[in-house]
Structure 1
Amino acid sequence: MLIAPDALPDLPIRPVLPAVSAALAAHGAAVLVAPPGTGKTTVVPLAVAEAGGGRVVVAEPRRVAARAAARRMAALLGEEAGERIGFTVRGERRVSARTRVEVVTTGVLVRRLHRDPELAGTDVVILDECHERHLDSDLALAFLVEVRAALRPGLRVLATSATAEAGRFATLLGDVPVVAAEAALHPVDVSWCPPPRPVTPPHGLRVDPRLLDHVAATVRRALAEGDGDVLVFLPGAREIETVAGLLRGVDAAVVPLHGRQPGAIQDAALRPGRGRRVVLATAVAESSLTVPGVRAVVDAGLSRVPRMDHGRGLGALVTVPVSRAAAVQRAGRAGREAPGRVYRCWSQAQHDRLPAQPEPEVAAADLTGFALDLALWGHPDGSSLALPDAPPPGALQAARATLRALGATGDDGRITPRGRRLADAGLHPRLARALLDGAAQVGARRAAEIVALLDADRAADDLVAGWRRARADRDGPWTAEVRRLTAALDRHPAAEAGVRLTDDLAAGLVVGLAYPERVARAREPGSRAYLMAGGTAAELGGGSKLAGTTWVAVADADRAPGARTARIRSAAPLDEATARAAAETLAVTATEIGWIDGDVVARRVERLGAITLAERRIDDPDRELVHAALREGLRREGLALLTWTRTATALRERLAFAHATLGGPWPDVSDAALAEADWLELGSARRRADLARLDVATALRRLVPWSVAGRLDEVAPERLPVPSGSAVRVDYTDPAAPVLAVKLQETFGWQDTPKLAGGRVPVVLHLLSPAGRPLAVTSDLASFWVNAYPQVRGEMRGRYPRHPWPEDPATAVPTRRTNRRGQ
């Protein structure tokens, strides 16, 4: 017997344990919904193991929760972890032949499923906190559904959640029962405590220091207004360090709790203290574990989540407002043991605008590791798996392209032997590649140290300086990870070469192997502005020790919303030779003949991605390619590159009128049409300046089909005869309304408005005064003479007495001359 049912802690989960066991026995799978603090993480596994008599694996999203749950269950049995209750997290394993319940992280479970899909020896898998929707959690659920369907129908699966969105998990598991536990938790009073002055919203990893000042002040208030410990939620380790400094001198022990700490320190934070404590925690304290003694929660209202900028290849953690569901979970920490209080550092109005649920990682994170797991499982696109949400097609496509570039998959998306080696390292595929390939060039130990630093997100602005500081910490998690990675390299030994590189260049090389598109060169000597091989502009911070370095390998960078330039957060120096070695997959040598920077360029160029290493002009480029570049220039910059004489402009306007009125076969001579048409005889033209010397009018005439070329003067005459005998130019600027501007006296006796295009389009007559100013605009001369001319005559005859203004213009003699006597 593992534990007698009546020996289980008296927690709210106990009444539903029989229903959980019955659902698993009858259906093989079930979903358990239970609020935080009810005992689902520690009591349910013990009860399931006791009822079923088999081995239970419990999967937790976080390492600290996995260790804490195992130690809590072991304590209930009066044992230490590693006996009947064990745990396995990355870098640490405590199990024995007696172990009946093993707590693992979801990442460990996914890798275990890859090695042994049937999970031989395991009877029940419990997926705890599956509502948190981490990538590994989604994969573990989908893989287990397929295992039950195809390999082991008898494997039982229980998914547990702290939210009411259990229906979707029940459907994915095969329409299994949902068991709900009600919790009579202690009441928690809510205090809305927005900062007294506006603070800047977070972007990237930056959090306004004024908010952290306010959080520290709110902690002091919480200590003054009640007893017990205070649990403070902050987005990350940096903010924890800042607030800890601000709380110096408070009458309580300040205890940090975050994922970068050694396990022993995390475990100590989860044990009761001798006096009052302020526990400064990240989201690791939201669920799956209890921080004892807490009576108040101070919530900064922020969370740190992974995001991927696919357009620039920048993946990083970013700070976002917490969801309403997560805020409720955080508040519940204050009511687990007694009535409590929560101080929310935002207003109720802001709370109502928060997202209801946290965004699943699959929606916005880097999916490269996720795609590698899919390929290992044999479903490269994931379409046939029971995933809670399908991965975004664009993000998955980018991830699969990265895997192909790493050699992890073939063109068909299937895993390669190299891909299996990368997966075996238990790292992001990029870091695994840097570890395996870097070991052969800088040595196994140094490669493992640098990769461990990158994986822990401990890299400083100057990564090499951060590496040296990490080496001084001989007992921390970084050292344990170095040992693990070195052991992984021992399983795949490689001949070591080039290990004489300095630490600076070794660090830069390994970073570049992981992120070749982030190898960057300064735009100018001594500049802080860089261009990455992937094409992204980036800058070092003002006080960076790397300023003036010509080449760097960027380990971490972020880009503020709306910013055109990324900010380099961590990098290592390189020289050109090492940069070429790190990013050799991006190296190209090509002949380029094209329209570049406003002119034709013909050159042979050597590039590292977007970085131009060397170029040489080609003196005798291929004429057809040069002409193609000139046409591209016309498309990009427009027809103003040509010289439009008066003759060419007038001809184009007449052709435009003919096309607008009669359509084909008259050519379309609009900007868009001419930009696409091959109408210019480029001849010996080679450069931008040569375009200005081309005969545009002749080229336009060549566009007109021979069948209609002789009719242009009939359809769109350049000039029209008027009654005075003059031939007046027609203005075709507006092809829908050609204009004939003529002095009024030259039109006497003209009754019918002249028409163009075979009598289809009347011209618009601008009848001018003797001074050349419009007196009237009309397309109906007959009406004008009757209705408008008398008024014009009355106004103008006194002003222009030397010009004829007859009473009857229909019978008057048209003239271009003055009448000395006047009329």
Structure 2
Amino acid sequence: MQLSPQGSETSGGGGRHITGARWAGRGRVPVTAGRHGRQTGAVHPDDTGPGASRAEAAAALPVRRAVPALAAALEARGAAVLAAPPGTGKTTYVPLALAGLAPDRPPAGGDDGGRVVVLEPRRLAARAAARRMAWLLGERVGGRVGVTVRGEHRPGSRVEVVTTGVLLQRLQDEPELPGVGTVVLDECHERHLDADTALAFLLDVRAALRPDLRLVAASATADTAPWARLLDADVVETEAALHPVDVVWAPPERPLPPPHGTRADPALLDHVAATVRRALTEHAGDVLCFLPGVGEIARVAGRLAGPFDVLQVHGQAPAAVQDAVLAPGERRRVVLATSVAESSLTVPGVRIVVDSGLAREPRTDHARGLGALTTVRASRAAADQRAGRAGREAPGIVYRCWSAAEHDRLPARPRPEIELADLTGFALQAACWGDPSAASLALPDPPPPAALQAARATLRALGATDAEGRATDRGRRLGGIGVHPRLARALLDGAREVGARPAAEVVALLSEPPPRGAGDDLTAVWRALRRGGRPAGAHAARWRDEARRLERAVPAGRAAGGADDHVAGLVVALAFPERVARARRGAYLMASGTGAALADGSALAAARPEWIAVAVADRPSGAASARAALAVVIDEEVARRAAAPLLAAGEEVAWRDGDVVARRVERLGAIELDARPLRDPGPARVAAALADGLRAEGLALLDWTPAAVALRERLAFCRAALGDPWPAVDDAALLGRAAEWIAAAPKARRRADLRRIDVTAALRGLLPWECAARLDELAPERITVPSGSSIRVDYSGERPVLAVKLQELFGWDAAPRLAGGRVPLVVHLLSPAGRPAAVTADLASFWREGYRSVRAELRGRYPRHPWPEDPAQATPTRRVKPRG
């Protein structure tokens, strides 16, 4: 292997760990770059100043020292893993160096190795990276450095930054990636599903089509083992030029409830805003504040005012805001950001980080087809990433809005998206790739089987895959549109019904979160976007661009159109047929069988429509029904057309509302459309419905006579004392044999008929013959005592009890033992009035030791009853002495 002059090597683990200074052994020896002042973000990317400033900016990047080792690793194995913390230049300098374009050094790897494609997980990060690289070359984006994201295509001749979704589509269309020499997968540590999928596909391409294709997995953390193993590659590491960052633990004064659903406690947001204000007074520099989502950013922004600029950074932020964040400001700034700023963006001027400690993760209810983002505690790894942003240019400080003790209890790292997300899009990608089960894909983590099964079932329902899971022509077309398969289906089928442009506009609206404050009426949101006014704002421009792109993806067809509710409702129902919903008892029942409720006080709820199509819904933790966040009014005709595969008609004999109901029913999924009485239902179906009713409502539907209760108690005693083959007779066991109980009443047709079942005979019918023959021996119903009385044994307690008047047992020194001698009979000795006088399982001992005190207490009160001195020799009797 040829090494660069700076390099040396030792092997260790699955791959070697390489630094720019030398090849490391088993441990990691990081590249030390020294400390610098303001770095990459300090110069605005559109600044057209002297070229020297660009070369100086490039020379200040710590990652440049690792480039020779990275080039050597690629030369040796065709793949490498680059571990470089945020701010080292891995996103912007390394691609230029691999393309031979680095402004401060000669070409690394030559100019004939093909284009370098850089994968970014977010559009915002892709645009920012392309602009930064173009600035380093003194160019605008679209020259040697380009960018391609959804809605924007300015390819570069040498370097192109794309989102992972864009690359996945290219791989499906042209898996050889003609003209591409190197692919850099940036921010692979974030474990986005598309990024994991892209890596798996690229590994397939290298193995089967392009062994010359070079791959670099770039991570902002040192946790590189999964990628080193998958790529069979060396790990090249570099340290950031980070300054020390002090930690201030700043928990709220009183404990707050943990995050719940999508909600962040308003008291915590108040505390975060107060902490930002505190930080501004205690330290110099700009503030970067991490919050879980757009709503929390807006609420904290509303609590901040002062001689500083407040910038809100998230995936939906307008381009002007993104530009302002990436350039130094004239005034002090407070940047409120989601996790996009953890590693994907470099914000200049930041000396202070305020961390709310919250993040958003997807959650999917696969059984009900509902998904949402949920608020969770950020991991320790994310907290470290966030804190490091304060030490980019000078010593910094991080205010953590939780305690040190809480920090130790945080999860070590975030869960990979493949464990949490809806996998329908992934499953379609895998099917189009030729691996429907995803079994042979080299993924860092396998997809959860239940989630993948649910996704594949959805694809079959959409006609995207065949019975074996292979992609159909329709499925390939759906996969090429660049939106979720459900939305792609709504676009294709909806365009034929309502026209390409209206369908594209509604699908574009559904493909991204709606504008804040838009309400739950989808038609009203659509109209606002068309007008471009409030609350649409800057959202309208992105929506129009996406609508035009989607319109081009389907045939022009005829302009069908129609009323807005009809158009929007049909498209939404085509996308989510199981979310078609009908009013029911003040709320709604969706075709999936899940209840749904509109927001109290919303205009849509006030209209009280009979039918709606739910576009966005989630099920808050602990809630009995889903929450319809965005919906549109439809009618039954639209529901029937859009959800036609869910239509079913048939005979129904079932236990409903406390009795057997026989009907001929038409349903749309779980929604009942029409029902008529059914005459003469089959006896077997009636019996099954009665059994269901018995299981649902319990054994109280039967007539439990005293004899039946007593027999059940005797059988329960035998089961407990002797075990098998004595049958269990607890509620669960008896209900499990409900069909046998119903068979005991062959003419039963309704609830009242269950009272005519002979429960005693049915219980005896459970006994094997050998048990039936010995029941009276092992658990006798009655026992004859010395007086000649036949006394019933009580089996209702833990031990069998014989309750009998004391005088009837004179001369009896031992009660019989039951269950073949295994269980002693407990004797309750009663006074002449029938009240318990003593309890014993050892009569002989009682006559010797206990009787004397009982005799002394009772003989004065009951003088007509015998109280002999020696009860063991006395004659038992149930009679009283005659009056003298």
CA deviation digits over 1:629-684, x for unaligned, max 9?
22233333332211122333344445555666677777655544433441552132
Superposition deviation, residue 100 in structure 1: 0.8
Partner of 1:286: 342
Partner of 1:123: 181
Partner of 2:171: 113
* Matched-pair identity in %: 66
Superposition deviation, residue 784 in structure 1: 4.0
**Does residue 694 of the first structure (1) align with residue 785 of the second (2)?**
no
2:878 corresponds, among 791, 802, 816, to 816
Q: Which amino acid aligns with 1:458?
A: P
- Point out the more displaced range, 14-23 or 794-803: 794-803
CA deviation digits over 1:319-343, x for unaligned, max 9?
2233232233333333333444434
Secondary structure of 2:62's counterpart equals coil
Superposition deviation, residue 481 in structure 1: 0.5
Partner of 1:753: 815
Superposition deviation, residue 89 in structure 1: 0.8
Work out the CA distance in 2 between the residues paired with 1:320 and 1:729.
Answer: 63
1:721-736 matched pairs, under 5 angstroms: 721-733=784-796
Query: Contact 1:219–1:230 (CA<8 Å) still a contact in 2?
Result: yes
1:434-453 matched pairs, under 5 angstroms: 434-453=490-509
Query: Contact 1:590–1:604 (CA<8 Å) still a contact in 2?
Result: yes
**Does residue 10 of the first structure (1) align with residue 60 of the second (2)?**
yes
1:503 corresponds, among 552, 564, 569, to 564
Partner of 1:463: 522
Work out the CA distance in 2 between the residues paired with 1:127 and 1:813.
Answer: 100
When residues 240 and 719 of structure 1 are mapped into structure 2, their CA distance, relative to the original with a 3 A threshold, is closer
Superposition deviation, residue 504 in structure 1: 1.5
**Does residue 27 of the first structure (1) align with residue 77 of the second (2)?**
yes
Q: Which amino acid aligns with 2:84?
A: A
**Does residue 623 of the first structure (1) align with residue 673 of the second (2)?**
no
Superposition deviation, residue 165 in structure 1: 0.4
Work out the CA distance in 1 between the residues paired with 2:223 and 2:665.
Answer: 57
When residues 517 and 778 of structure 1 are mapped into structure 2, their CA distance, relative to the original with a 3 A threshold, is same
When residues 278 and 602 of structure 1 are mapped into structure 2, their CA distance, relative to the original with a 3 A threshold, is same
Partner of 2:425: 369
Work out the CA distance in 1 between the residues paired with 2:88 and 2:629.
Answer: 42
2:863 corresponds, among 783, 789, 801, to 801
Superposition deviation, residue 362 in structure 1: 1.1
Q: Which runs of 5+ in 1 are unaligned?
A: none
Work out the CA distance in 2 between the residues paired with 1:222 and 1:712.
Answer: 82
Partner of 2:612: 552
CA deviation digits over 1:467-492, x for unaligned, max 9?
111112397111110111011113xx
**Does residue 399 of the first structure (1) align with residue 459 of the second (2)?**
no
Superposition deviation, residue 246 in structure 1: 3.4
1:643-792 matched pairs, under 5 angstroms: 643-654=703-714, 669-677=729-737, 678-679=740-741, 681-703=744-766, 717-733=780-796, 737-751=799-813, 753-754=815-816, 763-792=825-854
Secondary structure of 2:327's counterpart equals coil
- Point out the more displaced range, 85-94 or 625-634: 625-634
When residues 698 and 13 of structure 1 are mapped into structure 2, their CA distance, relative to the original with a 3 A threshold, is closer
**Does residue 353 of the first structure (1) align with residue 353 of the second (2)?**
no
Query: Contact 2:165–2:194 (CA<8 Å) still a contact in 1?
Result: yes
Q: Which amino acid aligns with 1:724?
A: S
Query: Contact 2:784–2:791 (CA<8 Å) still a contact in 1?
Result: yes
- Point out the more displaced range, 679-688 or 422-431: 679-688
Q: Which amino acid aligns with 1:731?
A: D
Work out the CA distance in 2 between the residues paired with 1:658 and 1:305.
Answer: 55
1:9-408 matched pairs, under 5 angstroms: 9-50=59-100, 51-52=108-109, 53=111, 54=113, 55-95=115-155, 99-174=157-232, 176-196=233-253, 199-225=256-282, 227-248=284-305, 250-263=306-319, 265-408=321-464
Secondary structure of 1:753's counterpart equals coil
Query: Contact 1:766–1:774 (CA<8 Å) still a contact in 2?
Result: yes
- For these two proteins, the number of residue pairs brought into alignment is 809
Query: Contact 2:829–2:836 (CA<8 Å) still a contact in 1?
Result: yes
Q: Which amino acid aligns with 2:595?
A: A
Work out the CA distance in 1 between the residues paired with 2:719 and 2:282.
Answer: 84
Q: Which runs of 5+ in 2 are unaligned?
A: 1-50, 101-107, 533-537
Q: Which amino acid aligns with 2:858?
A: M
When residues 555 and 203 of structure 1 are mapped into structure 2, their CA distance, relative to the original with a 3 A threshold, is farther
CA deviation digits over 1:528-572, x for unaligned, max 9?
x22222222222222211112222222222333222233222211
When residues 145 and 722 of structure 1 are mapped into structure 2, their CA distance, relative to the original with a 3 A threshold, is same
Q: Which amino acid aligns with 1:130?
A: C
When residues 782 and 90 of structure 1 are mapped into structure 2, their CA distance, relative to the original with a 3 A threshold, is same
Partner of 2:10: none
Partner of 2:573: 512
Query: Contact 1:69–1:103 (CA<8 Å) still a contact in 2?
Result: yes
Work out the CA distance in 2 between the residues paired with 1:386 and 1:323.
Answer: 26
Q: Which amino acid aligns with 2:866?
A: P
Q: Which amino acid aligns with 1:628?
A: A
When residues 705 and 518 of structure 1 are mapped into structure 2, their CA distance, relative to the original with a 3 A threshold, is closer
Q: Which amino acid aligns with 1:425?
A: I
Q: Which amino acid aligns with 1:484?
A: R
Partner of 1:476: 541
Superposition deviation, residue 59 in structure 1: 0.8
Query: Contact 2:55–2:136 (CA<8 Å) still a contact in 1?
Result: no
Q: Which amino acid aligns with 1:733?
A: S
Work out the CA distance in 2 between the residues paired with 1:293 and 1:763.
Answer: 87
Work out the CA distance in 2 between the residues paired with 1:182 and 1:725.
Answer: 98
Q: Which amino acid aligns with 1:115?
A: D
Query: Contact 2:653–2:663 (CA<8 Å) still a contact in 1?
Result: yes
Work out the CA distance in 2 between the residues paired with 1:713 and 1:252.
Answer: 92
Q: Which amino acid aligns with 1:727?
A: S
Work out the CA distance in 1 between the residues paired with 2:824 and 2:705.
Answer: 27
Work out the CA distance in 1 between the residues paired with 2:857 and 2:57.
Answer: 115
Superposition deviation, residue 117 in structure 1: 1.6
Kindly report the root-mean-square deviation, in angstroms, between the aligned alpha carbons of the 2 structures: 3.0
- Point out the more displaced range, 704-713 or 650-659: 704-713
Q: Which amino acid aligns with 1:540?
A: L
Work out the CA distance in 2 between the residues paired with 1:454 and 1:177.
Answer: 43
**Does residue 530 of the first structure (1) align with residue 588 of the second (2)?**
yes
CA deviation digits over 1:291-319, x for unaligned, max 9?
23334333333323322122432212222
- Point out the more displaced range, 680-689 or 67-76: 680-689
CA deviation digits over 1:715-773, x for unaligned, max 9?
65544444434333333435x85433332323334455346677776644333221122
> Normalising by structure 1, what TM-score?
0.91
Work out the CA distance in 1 between the residues paired with 2:776 and 2:304.
Answer: 91
Query: Contact 2:646–2:668 (CA<8 Å) still a contact in 1?
Result: yes
- Point out the more displaced range, 539-548 or 198-207: 198-207
Partner of 2:6: none
- Point out the more displaced range, 62-71 or 762-771: 762-771
When residues 757 and 236 of structure 1 are mapped into structure 2, their CA distance, relative to the original with a 3 A threshold, is closer
Work out the CA distance in 2 between the residues paired with 1:153 and 1:164.
Answer: 27
Work out the CA distance in 2 between the residues paired with 1:240 and 1:665.
Answer: 67
Work out the CA distance in 2 between the residues paired with 1:673 and 1:191.
Answer: 60
Superposition deviation, residue 63 in structure 1: 1.1
Superposition deviation, residue 12 in structure 1: 0.9
Query: Contact 1:767–1:776 (CA<8 Å) still a contact in 2?
Result: yes
- Point out the more displaced range, 145-154 or 751-760: 751-760
Work out the CA distance in 1 between the residues paired with 2:277 and 2:843.
Answer: 91
When residues 117 and 731 of structure 1 are mapped into structure 2, their CA distance, relative to the original with a 3 A threshold, is same
Work out the CA distance in 2 between the residues paired with 1:622 and 1:402.
Answer: 35
When residues 253 and 790 of structure 1 are mapped into structure 2, their CA distance, relative to the original with a 3 A threshold, is closer
Query: Contact 1:262–1:476 (CA<8 Å) still a contact in 2?
Result: no
Work out the CA distance in 1 between the residues paired with 2:746 and 2:168.
Answer: 66
Work out the CA distance in 1 between the residues paired with 2:875 and 2:254.
Answer: 86
CA deviation digits over 1:199-242, x for unaligned, max 9?
55443333333433444444444444555543333333333333
Query: Contact 1:5–1:47 (CA<8 Å) still a contact in 2?
Result: no
Work out the CA distance in 1 between the residues paired with 2:176 and 2:326.
Answer: 35
Work out the CA distance in 2 between the residues paired with 1:138 and 1:481.
Answer: 25
